[in-house]
Structure 1
Amino acid sequence: MISTLASVSPKASLGKNVKIDPFSSIHDDVVIGEGTYIHSNVTIYPGTRIGNHCEVFPGAVIGVIPQDLKFDGEYTTVEIGNNTKIRECVTIHRGTKDRMKTSIGSNCLLMTYVHVAH
C-alpha cells in the first residue's frame, strides 16, 4: 500500500507488497524490492537499490550525493541487500567515482543516526 500523501516517481520500480507511508519521497531511478516497508518522512534518491523485505524507519535519507569534494556529478549508486533494517535518521550516501557504489549487505541493522559515507 502506498499512501496518497507519499511522493513516488513513476520512474521508480516497486516490488509486490511494498508499503510507503505518508510524506516519504521516492525519486526516479529507485528500485525497492518486494515486501519492503518505507515509514513516513523517508527520502530515497536516484540510484538507490533496496532489496526484499527491508524496513526503512522515519527520517532516513538514502542515496544522496556524497560529502566528498572529489565528487563531480558522476553516476553512482547505493545497493542494500535483503532483510535489512535502517533505523531512524540514518544517512547513506552514494559512491564517489563514476559507476562506484555504496553497498550494505543482507540481514543488516543500521541503528539510529548511523552515517554511511561514500
Structure 2
Amino acid sequence: MTRHLDQVFAALADPTRREILNMLLEDDMAVTDVAEPFTMSLAAISKHLGVLTTAGLISQDKRGRVKWCRLEPDALRAASVWMQGFGQFEPVNLDAFERFLAAELPGAPGSGTQTE
C-alpha cells in the first residue's frame, strides 16, 4: 500500500502530469492529442504517461495504430482515503490561540501585563 501511495503522489507532484490527468477527465485521448498542447517532445510526454500508468492513474491501450490513454479514477481512492485521515483535525485559529495564551499566561505577549 505504501509503495502504491508513493507512486501516486510522485506522479501527482509534476504539473505536466496533473494537467494530463485534467485533460483526461473529459474523455479518452490519443497520445498525440495529449502531447499537442505541450511544448515538449512526444518522447517526453510518453515518459510522463509511463509514470502515470505505473502509478495506475491512467491506462493505455492500442486501437489499430493509435495508442489511447484513459483516466483510472479509482486509482486515486487510496490516496484520497489516506488524505481524509487528516481531515479529523480542526484548523487552528491562531488569533484565538493567542487570546487563550494571553488570558492563561501572565506576561505572555498580548496579555497586557509584563513580568521582568
- Report the TM-score, using the length of structure 2 for normalisation: 0.21
Larger RCO of the pair (alpha carbons < 8 Å, separation 6+): 2
Higher strand share: 1
Higher helix share: 2
Select the structure of larger CA radius of gyration: 2
